[in-house]
Amino acid sequence: MSRTYFGTDGVRGRVGEAPMTVDFALQLASAAARVLAPRGGSVLIGKDTRLSGYMFEAALEAGFVAAGVDVKLIGPLPTPGIAYMTRYFGCSFGVVISASHNLYEDNGIKFFDASGGKLSDQLEQEIEAEIGRGTITRGSRELGRAVRVDKERTEYQKFCASTLAAGVDLEGLKIVLDCANGAAYKVGPRVFADLGAEVIPVGCSPNGRNINDGCGSTAPQLLQLTVPGVRAQVGIALDGDGDRLVMIDHLGRSVDGDQLSYVIARARKEAGALTGPVVGTLMSNLGLEVALRGCGIDFRRANVGDRYVLGMLKETGGIIGGETSGHILCLDRTTTGDALVAALQVIGVIRQTGRSLPGLAAGMARFPQVLLNVKVARRFDPAAVPEVNAAVDRVAKSLGAEGRVVLRASGTEPVIRVMVEGREEAQTRAFAEDIATAVRAAAA
């Protein structure tokens, strides 16, 4: 069964346009209640800092209460924090109102199950099948209750701190932390400050409209200037919902998700604590695969999306996985991708080894990788277009074993992603442009 509303990370879209409307949120709440809490139960609702979050929070609250589900409202908290607090409260499921790294005009709704994990494709299909059946309004005696639990956010802060290796603290460490004016703007600085670090906050003044706007993991340029400017040892950039991580070294250079996964995995291997393979995605840099192989670490590729990385980790018994964009999973610490937890793992390695971030990341040599996002009026399968396939075949034959080609439709935006890796950057870019031209022609 195909999914109409759920993409790779919940339901997402432009606010005011289907499906991101109040009417749909009410229907979605009733549908989710029927599937996830058919005999009543409780749900935790969290959000990021978008202006529209208040609207969707109210709509979901009304829908769940009307369906007989108790609601706990925790306000702005990172997506992985909602996963953790769903387990902490013993809720039947959790809901996050966020469009992750998108700008404020967009919003989204995503779910966690009672264990704090992403819903399976099957459960999302079951929820979709219930949408359109109308909203439930039970009698007064059967209605749910709604309470605010904002003060319990400190439990998530304590949990993050507990994932740092025993005996390690951050005394004497200067960190610049960019929270993208998003969900981590309160808890992020407190986590690192409570561990003894000197924290210089950036992107911690949300106004409802500035989330991910020129800040955070998708726009780390200000952080790259600030870290060397204030002589900090490291910079940490989160995205708007706090599940993506990019780090900046003391010279202002960006260290992406592939490099951070390598640092964590290698440290786990050297400590004898790594189990199973490291899992990346089709878009993970070839340099990560080569570097891990050199350390005697198996590497596997899943489909793009941290839910698929998580699925392969569970299938193979792995504990470390991630995406180039900065979704990093440390299943020996938590159940989902968590930027704060991942940052603490990297900083823990820095403190334990006495080595700098660039020194740790130097073991992975990145292959030149060109990613072009070709905007299209409608989503389509590029692999079904003969002219596009011909362009891909030409490039693949030219690269041979020294590179890779990945072509896929985005699950969250109307774009076709063209990725080419090779040994020589100019040639790699030319190959990517060749394929992108074929995609544009097919989309015309």
User: Catalytic amino acids?
Assistant: 100
Name the residue among 378, 384, 375, 388 with its Cα closest to residue 434.
Answer: 388
**CB 7 within 8 Å of CB 305:** no
Name the residue among 133, 96, 93 with its Cα closest to residue 116.
Answer: 93
First to last CA, the chain: 29
Q: What is the identity of the amino acid at 309?
A: V
